[in-house]
Chains A and B, each alone.
Chain A
Amino acid sequence: MNLWNRLMCYSRRRSPWLFHMNGGSCNGCDIELIASLTPRYDAEQLGVRLEGSPRHADILCITGPVTHNAVNAIKTVYGQVCGPKAVVAIGSCPATTNVFIDSRTLDGPLNRHIPVDVFVPGCPPRPDAIILGVAKAAEILAERAAKKIPIDPVVMPLVGPPCNGACACSTPNAPKSTEEQP
């Protein structure tokens, strides 16, 4: 690779611009995506910018289980993003249709309609998991633009602290069922 290509590859990794699209999500994943831009997580340190127009974006972030109404919109917007581009499926919904499985209003999962590069699991995923997924997608995008490798979806690991025992599910003397209660 010559110097220009190396610089281009580096710049692509350092400047992922996102376009966020809702494919029928419950809004849980959407607020987590916005949360990753807030002072606590500050994705702008990686050069992430949420763009208003799909024409400006490099990475398309899709949430939700893909309803019938959303399919055409998703395909149009995917076409409007200029190459080289990558797609990040945020949450368990676009990967598996999650709790909405077998609903007659759905046409998911997402990779039946457009190629997906990175799946970020979680319902909803933590903002740090989303940032990790976007960084991975930027890496894949830079590599693919340089070497023309085929799309190979990556599933990110679950990110976040383990259960700290504060909730009822792990408290040993929490009431198990209604019968045990006086």
Chain B
Amino acid sequence: MNLTTALARFLIFPGLLFAVPAAWFFLWVERKAVALMQGRIGPPFMQPFYDFIKLLGKDTPPRSGVGGLLMKLWPLIAVSAAAGAVGLLPVLPSSGGFEGDLILLLALLELPSMCIIAAGFSSGSIFGEIGSAREAALSVSYNVVFLLAIVSIAASQHTFRLEALAKLPASPMLWLGVVAILVCLPAKLHINPFSLPNAEQEIYSGPMTEYAGPELAMWELSHGLEWVAATGLVATLAAPHLTLWWLAALVFVALSFAVVLLLSVIAAATARLAIDTTVRFYWQCTLIFAVLAISSALFMRFRS
């Protein structure tokens, strides 16, 4: 891949030009699905866009010193990491050169939640600190499953190259990994039943309590981009390998949309769980997934 295709992938598809409207669209789908399941009509189609523009035009409280600078920095790091993760997704078939690898993608996917933890602690608000502590506990418990699932898919193929992983033939091993990732996504995206880090009305807004105006707009955008990146990861793993680029793009968008719909319906149908239940859920139930995945990966390696 030369520089122009790399730039095109980062800036156009599946990068910023696609990802930002997709982020707003997914945020709308989430709210609309909840509204429809509650028998309401729900927000208009452009609502996340209006919210974003309005937040850009609001004042921020004065912040001074290193703490203030850090508070301004966290949302920007989160947005750029999430955008980078979307840009790395191997949606389109490419030709040689740097194609990104799984470890970079995982690191970029993890950065926004690190930023949320740091943001809550640097805001100095008690509610922010409670939210950050919950986020940290949550990320320690779901990440074990998430990483084991992805690593076992990679280990069965002897590679960390994204391009090769996108071309995986469908196997029970792959499906097991995809299901394990799907179980982790509600926690990664902070939606019900695992919405406790930003448990609104319970601990105000968790780590976001002190944020206002453009900074909050950046957090909303990074949340939307996380949606695109996380559902896109599932879509690229689950999609069949296609050589026609437009067909590949279409399948990618359709699969991402299906995952968003599934997660939104789960979010609307469940209530928030307490932190101990959540942690127990991830450590007990989903470790089973990961153990199965790792053992079958080893089995496939020894057989091949």
Contact = CB atoms under 8 A, between A and B. Distances in A.
Interface of A: 7-8, 10-12, 14-15, 17, 39, 42, 44-45, 47, 50-53, 55-56, 58, 80, 82-84, 145
B57 A42 contact: no
A52 B213 contact: no
Contact of B205 (A47, A53, A58): A53
Contact of B51 (A10, A15, A50, A145): A15
A52 B201 contact: yes
Nearest to B47: A47
Contact of A12 (B40, B54, B205): B54
B245 interface: no
A82 to B, nearest CB: 4
Contacts of B212: 55-56, 82
Interface in B200-242: 200-205, 208-213, 216
Contacts of A17: 51
A42 B41 CA distance: 7
Contact of B57 (A8, A44, A45, A55): A8
Given A53-B208, A55-B209, A56-B212, A42 B54 contact: no
Give the secondary structure class of B's interface: loop
Contacts of B56: 8
Interface of B: 31, 35, 38-44, 46-47, 49-51, 53-54, 56-61, 127, 200-205, 208-213, 216
Contact of A39 (B40, B49, B203): B40
A83 B53 contact: no
A83 B59 contact: yes
8 contacts: A12-B54, A14-B50, A17-B51, A52-B202, A56-B216, A82-B59, A82-B60, A84-B57
Nearest to A8: B57
Contacts of A80: 61
B209 A10 contact: no
B209 A52 contact: yes
Most buried by B among A39, A56, A83, A145: A56
Given A52-B200, A52-B205, 9 more contacts: A7-B53, A11-B51, A11-B53, A15-B47, A42-B41, A42-B42, A55-B210, A56-B205, A58-B54
Given A52-B201, A52-B204, A42 B47 contact: no
B244 to A, nearest CB: 38
Nearest to A57: B212
Contacts of B31: 44
Contacts of A44: 31, 35, 40-43
Most buried by A among B41, B47, B61: B47
A51 B205 contact: yes
A47 B59 contact: no
Most buried by A among B38, B54, B58, B212: B54
A83 B40 contact: no
A17 B127 CA distance: 20
A17 B39 CA distance: 21
Nearest to B46: A14
A103 to B, nearest CB: 30
A53 B42 CA distance: 22
A90 to B, nearest CB: 18
Given A7-B53, A55-B209, A47 B44 contact: yes
B96 to A, nearest CB: 43
Most buried by B among A8, A51, A52: A52
Given A11-B50, A14-B47, A55 B39 contact: no
